[in-house]
Chain A
């Protein structure tokens, strides 16, 4: 009998996936033919959620995109009951055909191989796709040293952003002879604009759990912590379900798979502090304290959680481990570049047509991701920049769009690989305003422990606010640069050391925009509200009244079929009139 599977990651649910599931469940119950309705996680095609998969008797899979209740009826009546697929709504099928095939055909799914293909709340589904096979191999035939050697040979680097070789990190922790050690999963995905870890945890929690158990075995830790953001309730719920299932099946707990190895896993929910993504701050937070970073050394591998040697890895890094062991280091090393092996997951968002989760072999160019996978800008306007690495990263301009996505080439642009946030911007985005946005974020998240970060970022923010309000003065850019260099070299932790990056990269590539704000008191992109005003061109306006209807402050007046006028005293410069006008009559000055 046919199976109906609904994608219910956060994006699927937010797009109305639960309603679609209910509709299909009702139809299936009514038909009474033993048609099953189940759920899966995220396929990464967030832009075309909700998604519904029909698996037929032969095992052929057809995945529909953009399914609302009426499309759901159509799919059920036609495809499920009569075997006639609804071609217009097919995103992709198991033969590789469909309207959205380009999005997936340019990707390589290693970490995400199970995402969207299993029910994340069913351990049997995960097992049917080789979950815990890596763990079985480790406990059945490998020593901790052999595990570390295999991870080292794979060449995998930490996917949290810094890119430190995972095998080396494990070796440091393993070499410590202390009897109590900890392995910690950093799932405090705080970068605004990033959601790779959330999707992995929601769609395939077992991959992370397996990675942690293997890591624990390798370094000699019997206890692990997953520090997860409280903002991710679905991820936390599915992790708890997965941990309980793993305990029941004997993958966790005492004497795992009769090997004599014990491993306990605990979830700690974060409480909303970005700095807790920094490893020593994260440790402080697990211990119940304010999440303020510690001075290093000692590094966590020597003295970490509760004063014991600790090893901290990112979600995506750990999700890679089971597969590396199962398939072997050489298989993993076959993907990527000479310098960096494997794949990297990116969260493609912002002004891009097809936003979602994208897994690519390291070494692809930014152009391939933005255009071949993402389909270009959503507005149809010129691509201006891509922001990578969130508040620690930078803006890469259109001129450098052919930059290779790898740790070193990205660092040369002033940005970083980062944890995977990739936010596309078009010509309407003001780069000075973007710099101000990130500085405001890091400044409010600065923990206040070290002076350079606490006060330095505050002074930088004040200057940027001044510039975006048209009160910048000559020398402001130089002052920003000087403060940036001082903060980068002197701040205590990664948050402060990287906080100036968004400012430095925008100065480097968009100095003319800074100068226009400071000297001419103008915002060329039209993004700084204090420096612009909206007007309606009497020549272009046909008096359709749409803008007047949509204006939230009723600032627009005019008679039908006559040119309208904006009352500047009431106007809040939200730009809604400009976006709704079909005649390009609203102009920014």
Chain B
């Protein structure tokens, strides 16, 4: 359960607000998980057990769905998510060098979160902007035609914008 009692009421209110959409139909499981992840940034264990109680779907079944789809996360992530595209076009043009540059810049490996929790770096199968390869996405913002140098610049620029905000 949530250890921080000061947050508890808001924490569960968020959950209740999302559950008002639930009509008892099992096919709503994936959209519910998507909304919960949007709200909490990941899928915390206590949320999953409460979801199981409310929907009547076993925790094991919910976990089966969560672990099947790459979108769902069981660990908290950084405030901003950098997705590095490894689609075919990006791969043949050098996605690996872009990933290398970004990981070096942030001091993390693919899949990890920076210490200040500002960024999580992930790889993604294809972002569908193949003509602009190599491509990365920071949250919902796409950057294309990158070189290792411009990729670093994009990250630095984003960071300074965040610092100002």
Contact = CB atoms under 8 A, between A and B. Distances in A.
A441 B133 CA distance: 18
Interface string A228-244: 01111100000000000
Interface string B51-89: 000000000000011001111100000000000001111
B124 A290 contact: no
A524 interface: no
Contacts of B34: 230, 269, 271
Contacts of B27: 286-288, 306
B143 A194 contact: no
B131 A47 contact: yes
A195 B29 CA distance: 28
Contacts of B129: 10-11, 14, 46, 195
Nearest to B140: A233
Nearest to B104: A552
A10 B142 contact: yes
A14 B144 contact: yes
A390 interface: yes
A353 B101 CA distance: 25
A415 interface: no
B142 A13 contact: yes
A575 B100 CA distance: 12
A569 B132 CA distance: 33
A233 B158 CA distance: 20
A195 B93 contact: no
A330 B69 CA distance: 44
A385 to B, nearest CB: 10
Nearest to B26: A288
B154 to A, nearest CB: 11
A287 B71 contact: no
Contacts of B68: 273, 290-292, 447
Given A14-B142, A423-B88, A572-B100, A349 B131 contact: yes
A271 B72 contact: yes
A552 B101 CA distance: 7
Nearest to B83: A231
Kindly name the residue among A195, A356, A387, A550 whose own CB sees the greatest number of chain B CB atoms within 10 A: A195
A390 B88 CA distance: 8
Contacts of B116: none
A119 interface: no
Interface stretch (A131-139, A184-192, A249-257, A503-511): A184-192
A285 B30 contact: yes
A272 B83 CA distance: 13
A179 interface: no
A501 interface: no
Contact of A576 (B64, B72, B97, B131): B97
A15 interface: yes
Nearest to B139: A233
A355 B142 contact: no
A220 interface: no
A289 interface: yes
Contact of B89 (A13, A193, A445): A193
Nearest to A390: B88
Interface in A242-293: 268-274, 285-292
Interface string A403-444: 000000000000000000101010001000010011001000
B69 A423 contact: no
B19 interface: no
B131 to A, nearest CB: 3
A575 B131 contact: no
A491 interface: no
Contacts of B125: 190, 192, 274, 441, 445
A11 B65 contact: no
B92 to A, nearest CB: 5
B128 interface: yes
B132 A15 contact: yes
Interface in B99-130: 100-101, 104, 124-130
A66 B148 CA distance: 22
Contacts of B101: 552
Contacts of B104: 552
A290 B63 CA distance: 10
B70 A349 contact: no
A142 interface: no
Given A14-B143, A271-B72, A231 B124 contact: yes
Contacts of A81: none
B133 A194 contact: no
A348 interface: yes
Given A14-B132, A14-B142, A195-B128, A552 B92 contact: no
B28 interface: yes
B91 interface: yes
A351 interface: yes
A154 B108 CA distance: 55
Contacts of B143: 14
Nearest to A426: B92
B149 interface: yes
A136 B55 CA distance: 42
Contacts of B72: 271
A410 B36 CA distance: 45
B80 to A, nearest CB: 15
A193 B130 contact: yes
Contacts of A480: none
A5 to B, nearest CB: 20
B93 A11 contact: no
Nearest to A572: B100
Given A286-B27, A423-B89, A355 B69 contact: no
B138 to A, nearest CB: 11
A272 B149 contact: no
Contact of A355 (B28, B31, B88, B131): B131
A434 B89 CA distance: 11
Given A273-B68, A290-B64, A192 B135 contact: no
A560 interface: no
B94 interface: yes
A425 B94 contact: no
Q: Which 7 A-B pairs have the closest CB atoms?
A: A193-B88, A46-B131, A355-B131, A349-B130, A271-B69, A192-B87, A14-B142
15 contacts: A10-B128, A49-B132, A192-B91, A193-B89, A194-B128, A194-B130, A230-B71, A273-B69, A273-B70, A274-B125, A285-B30, A290-B64, A552-B148, A572-B100, A574-B96
Interface of A: 10-11, 13-15, 46-47, 49, 189-195, 198, 229-233, 268-274, 285-292, 306, 347-351, 355-357, 387, 390, 421, 423, 425, 429, 434, 437-438, 441, 445, 447, 550, 552, 572, 574-576
